[in-house]
């Protein structure tokens, strides 16, 4: 059993700051999350590596490259316009695999259930998982269920982990952005975060907005057929702003966005005005950002627009060389402002 | 990307009965858990297959056999004599992989943290995970952290999923028991369950007992070198009684245990008397049961006793042919009684 096993870095997509206790912001996907990763998890579990911020780790087993990832889901409420915790759990892990160019193969699911949850709710969630897995073309291969006393968990948490197969010639990573790369988004920003907020107790506001939660692996397969891709990332917790800052740091480059090019639905715009949010920081669950060479952009955009989840694909910016990694926004009136990671917590339990 | 992908059945080690709500017993590992699997999860996620009750699924990717498993950990308290939730999370998944004969390779970990947990506690848990992973020889390849509001979870839940490599000639499953097989246990029964109970608030009792939580993959490698193994299983939630019932059902055979041969520490015996428990139903986290041909038993026992976690290995029973699968106990005074699965819940949040 002396297998040829090797790791392309350690990856820990989320999480310490030397404060006394964990705060909600440590789960935000933003700055505090990155502190937690860098100060607590990476020193114990593995060295910071190029892939440490990617959505999946890549493990080489006997010459075969396998992507490996995990995501726990604690969204509240369990059902929201356009989706539910089950669809989120499947799509989140499928997408994390697909974002390193892997073909998702199999998932595991771990349920932590609060005593007293109705079977009808659990069944609806499980059926939604089944349907989402079928859409993505992945298998649910193993499962586990724990039940805790009433008050020891909030209804239902679901962890999904997944494995995918990565072709030997695929090299997609947040560390691979290059100067002059074009930045493409697959559709509108902030739909998921605002849809969940609209369903949240005490915060109800009228909107016909649906979450964008969707499996993006078929979209990515079409993109990979259309041209070489340097970076893929789904802007979930922390939004596009946080995701682009991660990529800027990993690749040590600057990303410049055009404010007028950012696609945002009127309902999301209106809700963000009302709540004091910026769509750049609101979570998406069915969108991706891609970095490609300028000469490949048109082909890849066309391929994206022919797929269900890429119809609204648009070029939103480019990569430029500077002295320190950053994300800049060229505003509608011609100014420039720096876009930082999400500093604290904006929307707890959004996924 | 047309890979040769195949599944050796669907496996869901735990979980519905058509009652209105989920009760603690649905997480017990016993009868209610099996109802949950059979009535809710299997119909949606996959057909009942020989491996549906095994500890890991086996996925064939391009001719390579990979074991895949998941386990969420909700043990209370987080620290107990002999272990903690971190060691439990690593060993639980390493052991589930090893119980199908896989060499564990990589794990993922998903943390759900209650706001306000101290960093010191989180760091102790993470360091324990690091040490246990090093002992087992596995890598922690990916992680995720979610933080929920105070009162929405009880301190800390950890999911670990894992992949392992299975040699092409390995075929270990609960469905493989054969008439005349000898049943071997690797050591004493009930240490984990009683150690956790001894640390539980409101239930403190004096004992020097330590949990047996340990990674068993090196023990299993030694056993596989010593002779052919038909069945391996770790008697965790639900205890040895539940585990043996699962194997009896999977293999459609009867298992007969000798009461006088069952190794139980005096402290466990005393605590069980006091609490009204039967050690056969108390959880273990560093023990395994193996089914082997009689002619191989001596060699395998010798190999086990030369390892750290197999010193107390003993033969406790055998497989006999009957009309319906069952587990029987030959008592010390010469009688025989039927041993059923754990019917409800005895020790919630034991792992």
The answer to whether A26 faces chain B, any CB pair under 8 Å, is yes
Q: Of B166, B201, B222, which closes a domain?
A: B166
pLDDT digits (tens, 9 = 90+) for B50-66: 466 788 999 999 889 99
Q: In angstroms, rounded to a whole number, what is the distance separating the alpha carbons of residues B311 and A38? A: 40
- Whether A142 sits inside 8 A of B11 (CB atoms) is yes
Q: What is the CATH number of the domain that holds A96?
A: 3.30.1330.10
Interface predicted TM-score of the whole assembly (ipTM), two decimals: 0.92
> In this complex, do A59 and B147 lie within 8 Å of one another by their Cβ atoms?
no
Helix (H) or strand (E) run with residue A237 in it: none
Confidence of residue A204 (pLDDT cuts 50, 70, 90): low
Query: Is the same domain home to B128 and B193?
Result: no
C-alpha distance from B180 to closest chain A C-alpha (Å): 30
Contact list in A for residue B22 (CB cut-off 8 A) is 113-119, 122, 147
Residues of B in contact with A222 (CB under 8 A): none
User: Is A145 in contact with B33 (Cβ distance < 8 A)?
Assistant: yes
Residues B152, B280, single domain; the answer is no
Residue pLDDT, tens place only, B285-318: 999 999 999 999 999 999 999 999 999 999 999 9
* Residues B321 and B236 reside in one and the same domain: yes
Residue B161 shares a structural domain with residue B308: no
Whether B159 maps to a domain, the answer reads yes
Per-position DSSP letters for B270-327, written without gaps between them: HHHHHHT--GGGS--SS--EEEE-HHHHHHHHHHHHTSTT-TT-EEEEEEE--SS-EE
Residue A52 Cα distances to A37, A218, A249, B237, angstroms: 9, 25, 12, 35
Neighbouring CB atoms inside 10 A of B296's CB total: 18
Does A70 contact chain B (CB < 8 Å)? yes
A266 CA: distance to closest CA in chain B (Å):
30
Q: Does B70 touch chain A (CB under 8 A)?
A: yes
Q: Using 50, 70 and 90 to split pLDDT, how confident is the model at A35?
A: confident
Query: Do both B212 and B159 map to the same domain?
Result: no
Instruction: List Cβ neighbours of B73 (8 Å cut-off, separation of 6 or more).
Output: A146, B85, B88, B89, B92, B157, B158, B159, B160, B351
Are B209 and B103 within one domain?
A: no
Contact A348 B118 (CB under 8 A): no
Q: What is the pLDDT of residue B280?
A: 97
Residue B345 lies in a domain: no
Q: Which residue does chain A place closest to B113, by CA atoms? A: A22
User: Domain for residue A233, yes or no?
Assistant: yes
Same domain for B209 and B142: no
Residues within 8 A of B (CB atoms), A 163-222 only:
163, 165, 167, 221
Half-sphere exposure of A320 (CA within 13 A, CB side): 11
**pLDDT tens digits, B212-257:** 999 999 999 999 999 999 999 999 999 999 999 999 999 999 999 9
Which segment of A56-70, A199-213, A308-322 scores lowest on mean pLDDT? A199-213
B329 within domain boundaries? yes
A143, A169, A238, best to mutate vs chain B, most B CBs in 10 Å: A143
Q: Is A273 on the interface with B (CB under 8 A)?
A: no
Clarify whether residues A206 and A286 are in a common domain: yes
Of B166, B195, B227, the residue at which a domain comes to its end is B166
B132 falls within a domain? yes
Task: Identify which of A5, A19, A142 has the shortest CB distance to residue B105.
Answer: A5
Q: Who among A36, A115, A145 is closest to B14 (CB)?
A: A145
Among A18, A343, A70, A13, which Cα is nearest to B123's?
A18
Q: Best mutation site among A18, A42, A70 for testing chain B: the one with the most B CBs within 10 Å?
A: A70
Examine residue B95 and state whether it is found in any structural domain, yes or no. yes
CATH number where B287 lies: 3.90.650.10
Chain B neighbors of A148, CB-CB under 8 A: 27, 74, 154, 348-349
- Do A199 and A332 belong together in one domain? yes
| B32-53 confidence digits (pLDDT tens) | 888 888 888 888 887 545 466 7
Q: Which domain holds residue B70?
A: 55-166
Q: How many domains does chain A have?
A: 2
Contact status of A46 with chain B (Cβ, < 8 Å): yes
- Which of A120, A136, A166 terminates a domain? The answer is A166
* Same domain, yes or no: B324 and B256: yes
Given a contact cutoff of 8 angstroms between Cβ atoms, the answer to whether B243 and B235 are in contact is: yes
**CA of B182, closest CA in chain A: separation in Å?**
26
Do B150 and B200 lie in a common domain?
Answer: no
Whether the Cβ atoms of residue B68 and residue B161 lie closer than 8 Å to each other: yes
C-alpha A164/C-alpha A65 separation (Å) is 9
d(CA B98, CA B215): 9
pLDDT tens, position by position, B188-218: 999 999 999 999 866 667 778 999 999 999 9
- A303-342 tens-digit pLDDT: 999 999 999 999 999 999 988 999 999 999 999 999 999 8
> What is the model's pLDDT at position B1?
36
User: Does A141 contact B40 at a Cβ distance shorter than 8 Å?
Assistant: no
- The reply to whether A62 and A151 lie within a common domain is yes
Q: Is residue A16 part of a domain?
A: no
Say if residue A14's pLDDT is above 60. Answer: no
A154, B145: Cβ pair inside 8 Å? no
Mean of the pLDDT values across residues B139-167? 96
* Touching A: B residues 87-146, CB under 8 Å: 103, 105-106, 108-119, 122-123, 126-127, 129-130, 133, 139-146
Instruction: Please give, one letter per residue, the 3-state secondary structure of A179-232.
Output: CCCEEEECCCCCHHHHHHHHCCCCCCCCCCCCCCCCCCHHHHHHHHHHCCCCEE
Q: Is the pLDDT of residue B17 over 50?
A: no
Using the Cβ of B14 and the Cβ atoms of chain A, whether some distance falls under 8 Å is answered with: yes
Q: How confident is the model at residue A47 (pLDDT cuts 50, 70, 90)?
A: low
Assigned domain for B177 exists = no
């Amino acid at each position: 059993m002396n297998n040829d096993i090797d790791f392309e870095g350690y990856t820990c997509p989320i999480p310490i700051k030397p404060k006394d206790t964990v705060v909600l912001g440590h789960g935000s996907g933003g700055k505090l999350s990155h502190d937690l990763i860098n100060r607590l998890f990476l020193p114990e579990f593995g060295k910071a590596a190029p892939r440490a911020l990617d959505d999946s780790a890549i493990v080489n087993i006997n010459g075969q490259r396998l992507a490996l990832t995990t995501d726990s889901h604690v969204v509240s409420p369990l059902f929201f316009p356009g989706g539910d915790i089950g669809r989120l759990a499947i799509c989140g892990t499928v997408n994390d695999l697909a974002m390193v160019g892997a073909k998702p193969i199999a998932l595991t699911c771990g349920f932590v259930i609060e005593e007293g949850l109705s079977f009808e709710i659990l069944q609806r969630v499980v059926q939604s998982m089944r349907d989402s897995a079928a859409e993505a073309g992945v298998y649910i291969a193993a499962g586990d269920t724990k039940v805790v006393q009433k008050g020891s968990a909030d209804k239902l948490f679901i962890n999904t982990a997944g494995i995918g197969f990565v072709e030997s010639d695929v090299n997609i990573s947040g560390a691979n952005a290059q100067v002059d790369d074009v930045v493409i988004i697959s559709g509108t920003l902030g739909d998921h975060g605002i849809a969940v907020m609209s369903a949240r107790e005490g915060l109800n506001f009228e909107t016909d907005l649906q979450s964008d939660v969707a499996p993006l692996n078929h979209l990515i397969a079409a993109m990979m057929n259309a041209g070489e891709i340097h970076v893929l990332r789904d802007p979930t917790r922390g939004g596009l702003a946080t995701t682009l800052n991660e990529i800027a740091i990993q690749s040590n480059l600057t990303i410049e966005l055009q404010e007028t090019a950012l696609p945002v639905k009127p309902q999301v715009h209106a809700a963000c005005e009302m709540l004091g949010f910026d769509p750049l920081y609101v979570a998406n669950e069915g969108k991706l950002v891609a970095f490609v060479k300028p000469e490949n952009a048109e082909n890849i955009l066309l391929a994206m627009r022919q797929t269900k989840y890429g119809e609204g694909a648009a070029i939103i910016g480019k990569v430029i060389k500077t002295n320190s990694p950053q994300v800049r926004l060229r505003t509608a009136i011609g100014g420039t402002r720096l876009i930082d990671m999400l500093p604290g917590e904006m929307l707890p339990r959004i996924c």
